[in-house]
Amino acid sequence: MSTTQFAMVEELAFLVKDNLPSKHLVLSMEEALVNFLQDDNSADGVLELEPMDSYNRLLLHRLADIFGFAHESVGEGVDRHLILERCSETS
């Protein structure tokens, strides 16, 4: 793990430190991302997530950075959600 990745992990850990629902979201999404990367059926390399509030999107943007996914939020209001895409930096 590079120094930059370590700093990103530390920042994410700080953000969810005392927030059990957010911690659960990050841990379950981390597992989902690992499974997604190991899944040969996801040939297009795109993962579209369910709509969520802005704070949870922020957390998952940070997690996507750690994994090296390209990511963006799309949609409006309660339909706003993340789309993650596997790229050469994804690991």
Q: Are 56 and 62 in contact (CB under 8 A)?
A: no
Q: Tell me: the pLDDT tens digits for 30-85? A: 999 999 888 866 568 899 999 999 999 999 999 999 999 999 999 999 999 999 99
- At residue 22, the pLDDT reads 92
Q: How many CB atoms lie within 10 A of CB 60?
A: 24
Residue 16's beta-bridge partner residues?
A: none
Q: Which domains does the chain have, with CATH numbers?
A: 3-86 (3.30.1370.50)
- Condensed to tens digits (0 to 9), the pLDDT of residues 18-31 reads 889 999 999 999 99
As a residue count, the chain comes to 91
